[in-house]
Amino acid sequence: MYYYSPPPATASLINHCPHRGNERRQTSNHPSPHPSIYSNPYSITPSFSHFHLLMFSTLFHTLIQFSCTPNLSMALPATSLHKFSTLFTFLLHLSSFTSSQSFIGVNYGIVADNLPAPEATAKLLQSTAIEKVRMYGADPGMIRALANTGIGIVIGAANGDIPALASDPNFATQWVNSNVLAYPDSNIIVITVGNEVMTAVDQSLVPLCLPAMQNVQNALNAASLGGKIKVSTVHSMAVLGSSDPPSSAVFNSGFSDTMRSLLKFHSANGSPFMINPYPFFAYQSDTRPETLAFCLFQPNAGRVDSGNGIKYMNMFDAQVDAVRSALNAMGFKDVEIVVAETGWAYKGDPNEAGTSIENAKAYNGNLINHLRSKVGTPLMPGKSVDTYIFALYDENLKPGPGSERSFGLFKPDLSMTYDVGLSKNSQTPTTPTPTSPTPTTPTTPATPSPVQAAGWCVPKPGVSDAQLQSNLDYVCSQGLDCGPLQPGGACFEPNTVASHASYAMNLLYQTAGRNPWNCDFLQTATLTSNNPSYNGCIYPGGV
């Protein structure tokens, strides 16, 4: 298996997702996490300050003047033009980053007795880059607390409400009146009708889901909100009948007709297909070190899709692209995907592999950076899928294994469980690449001191070409500029794996923060004070 690499007895990267807590979801409307996939760790995300705005504005007006002045370009040396163009390109790229990212959301569960007041939670969210919050119901206190904040709100109709919503349009109208129209100052953007209905224990809800969604949509249309608020339902990854390789993914044939009807609804109304991918559970079914690295967005050899030759470098992208392939195969290329849940438990029972602060920090921090890079996935390049991280807080009353109560990014006292770079004051999370792939005994501290290392990052002597090629593939899949390594580029010659990998590994080290743990690459790299630059190939860095 290329993406999930389960043991021989397993069938695919999707079918190993445990269906846990469905009975509980009927009452709490709050799902247990299900397996999903990957993202990118090493993207620098500076804040777009007033200074940057002034510089961008000045440069823009200068460009306009430049373009409108005859023969002005002839008066400037080529080197000046190149520097001018480079600066403009940099500032244009910088302008795509803001203190908040509309594609980063969080799940807010309430199966707990120690949650902060809604007003405190609203202030916490405003101090972060989180722009959207998904609820499993329609908590009045939280909806009111988020009024006039601009934060997008996803509210949910419980599975238990589906029969009434499906059979009675008046009930749907009343539901919308009570949970949407009652909060005109709150930015409600999506209503989810049910949660993981297609794979729920109560299969009688499956044929009722679409009629319920249609009645809610009609109620919104009647209130002139049909174009503003979208209606969807949330699925587990188990709706896929196959997913390995991602290019071959299709929906489960057992409810293909129902799925086709749902997708027609999404296409007609411009609403998203919402899915819950969890690489965390994929790793628990295959605890090899290389699978952990694949799930955590850390350097790894990658896994090739035998159907189209694409090499996937993380589990998240592979799972999301599997969903994309299934949508495309059914003829719905226009339907957008939203990741309704994904996360990593920082604590669990002794038999729950991979539950640690280090791994949770690596997954969520690298996922956030992957989204910020806007690299996208191989099948959806150049854009970030809206992603809701599970979860804002722990839910101490949830039943099940210990991990179920250990997904929170923040504690009830509003302090961070671990830092993944969500604060508006932070630019990048200090997420180390563990020097040991063993999840339970990492050798890198959970919160390393920010010691800056001078010099450059280069391969250790004796590292195989296969490992160097893996490092090269990894770096250049992360949205970094590997252009100098292309034919005609300043660092193309000598055209060897060792030379190209050396430049790429240093590029990632310099970009990720120049901390010692950024120059590890599974113990194949080392720091040096000797400048490896040669001829016209300039390695960034130095003292």
Q: Which residues are catalytic?
A: 196, 341
Where residue 196 falls (left for φ over 0; alpha for ψ -120 to 50; beta otherwise) is left
| φ, ψ dihedrals at 458, nearest 5° | -135, 165
| φ, ψ dihedrals at 108, nearest 5° | -115, 100
Of residues 486, 484, 496, 497, the one with CA closest to residue 535: 484
How buried is residue 124: exposed, middle or buried, by Cβ count under 10 Å (0-12/13-18/19+)?
middle
CB 5 within 8 A of CB 312: no
DSSP 413-478: TS-BSS--S-BTT-SS------SS--TTS-SS-SS---PPPPSEEEEPTT--HHHHHHHHHHHHTT
User: CA–CA distance from 22 to each of 25, 34, 201, 336, 488 (Å)?
Assistant: 5, 11, 6, 26, 57
**46: preceding bond cis by omega (within 30 degrees):** no
CB-based contacts of 475, cutoff 8 Å, min separation 6: 482, 504, 505, 507, 508
In the DSSP assignment, the letter for residue 378 is T
- CA atoms within a 13 Å half-sphere pointing along the CA-CB vector of 428: 21
| φ, ψ dihedrals at 30, nearest 5° | -130, 115
